[in-house]
Amino acid sequence: MKIQHIEFKKKRELGDILSDTFAFLRIQFKPFFTTFFKIVGPYLAVFLISYGFYFSSFSSLLDFNANANFNSNPLNAFSSINFILAVIALLFSGIATYVLSQATTLYYIQSYAENNGVINETEIRKNVYKNFWSFIGLGILVILSVGIALIFCCIPGIFLYVPLSLSFAIMVYSKRSATDSFGYSFDLVKEHWWMTFATIFVVGLIVTFASYAFSIPAVIYQYFKLGIFSGEMDAENMDVNFVDPIYIVLNLISTLAQFLFNIISLVAIAFIYFNLNEIKNNEGTMERIQKLGGDLDS
HSE (side-chain half, CA atoms, 13 Å) at 174: 25
Q: What is the pLDDT of residues 248-274, one digit of tens each?
A: 888 899 999 999 999 999 999 999 999
DSSP state of 264: H
* Total domains in the fold of the chain: 1
For residue 95, tell me if it sits in a domain: yes
> Can you say how many angstroms the Cα of residue 144 is from the centroid of all Cα atoms in its chain?
18
For residue 159, tell me if it sits in a domain: no
Residues 278 and 11 sit within 8 Å (Cβ to Cβ): yes
Quick one: the chain helix, strand, coil %, rounded to 5? 80, 0, 20
**Residue 218 has what pLDDT?**
85
For residue 162, tell me if it sits in a domain: no
For residue 263, tell me if it sits in a domain: yes
Residue 161 CB contacts under 8 Å (≥ 6 apart), including other chains:
146
**Residue 225 has what pLDDT?**
74
DSSP state of 64: -
Dihedral, CA atoms, 108, 113, 119, 120, nearest 10 degrees? -80
**Residue 138 has what pLDDT?**
96
**Residue 16 has what pLDDT?**
94
23 backbone φψ class: left, alpha, beta (φ>0; ψ -120 to 50): alpha
For residue 179, tell me if it sits in a domain: no
**Residue 67 has what pLDDT?**
45
For residue 176, tell me if it sits in a domain: no
- For residue 212, give the amino acid letter: Y
Where does 115-131 have alpha helices with state H? 121-130
**Residue 76 has what pLDDT?**
53
> Can you say how many angstroms the Cα of residue 152 is from the centroid of all Cα atoms in its chain?
26
Domain encompassing residue 24: 14-64+73-132+192-297
Q: CA–CA separation, 166 vs 279, rounded Å?
A: 15
pLDDT beneath 50, residues of the chain:
63-67, 70, 72, 75, 77, 235-239
For residue 149, tell me if it sits in a domain: no
For residue 155, tell me if it sits in a domain: no
